[in-house]
Amino acid sequence: MKNPEIFEKTYNDYWKKLNAFSYTMTQDKDLAQNIVQDVFIDLWERKDHITINAIEPYLFRAVKNQVFKHYQNNKFDKTILEDKFEDYIIDNFSSIDPELMDLLYSLLDKLPEKRKEVLLMYKFQDMSIDQIAEELGISKQTVKNQISSALKQLREGLKDLAWLAPMIFFKQNF
């Protein structure tokens, strides 16, 4: 990053991917462009003082941090990112770190027994709707309904951390 040519090449190589990313996260065209602009200005200003081993992870992190900063300052519609986060958690349920699984299990425990069972079969044991229906001797429609209401309830839990918070604080003390 020592000279303007390298800076320009870095810009040309990465601006588009970064802008697409900032837009995906914020759904705000102007804000998304400003984020990319600020990240490159910051890079230029610090170019003599920092050593960057891998430029793409650095730029990704810089954009991510900017998005988070604007999120905290309510500069865009936060529900967009929050919905994506809920989707991510639900889609990646089985690959999330065990430490955080405690948190998710406590959400799961709030579900009625039957609903929880169906969701676990669906998400953890990778069973199809047909298989679950057969296993439990209920109709496919019931399975579908149970899954969708379980996911909905889980989503609500992720939205409101108020009743989860004591548990999280408890964990921090150890």
106 sits near other proteins (criterion: CB under 8 A): no
What is the contact mask toward other proteins in residues 9 to 48, using x (rule: CB under 8 A)? --xx--xxx-xxx-xxx---x--xx--xx--xx--xx---
Backbone angles phi, psi at 137, to 5 degrees: 65, 40
Task: Give the shortest CB-88-to-other proteins separation in angstroms.
Answer: 5
- With CB under 8 A as the contact rule, the residue among 10, 14, 66, 67 that binds other proteins is 67
Question: What span, in angstroms and rounded, lies between the C-alpha atoms of 43 and 33?
Answer: 15
93 sits near other proteins (criterion: CB under 8 A): no
Task: Give the shortest CB-119-to-other proteins separation in angstroms.
Answer: 18
DSSP 103-163: HHHHHHTTS-HHHHHHHHHHHTS---HHHHHHHHT--HHHHHHHHHHHHHHHHHHHH--TT
Cβ contacts of residue 27 below 8 Å, gap of 6+? Answer: 76, 77, 80
Instruction: Please say which residue, 140 or 159, places its beta carbon nearer to other proteins.
Output: 159
164 sits near other proteins (criterion: CB under 8 A): yes
Helix, strand, or coil here: 66? Answer: helix
**In this structure, are residues 80 and 26 in contact, taking their beta carbons and an 8 Å threshold?**
yes
**In this structure, are residues 16 and 56 in contact, taking their beta carbons and an 8 Å threshold?**
no
Instruction: Please say which residue, 95 or 137, places its beta carbon nearer to other proteins.
Output: 95
Residues that bind other proteins (CB under 8 A): 11-12, 15-17, 19-21, 23-25, 29, 32-33, 36-37, 40-41, 44-45, 51, 53, 60, 64, 67-69, 71-72, 78, 81-82, 84-85, 88-89, 92, 96-100, 158-162, 164-165, 168
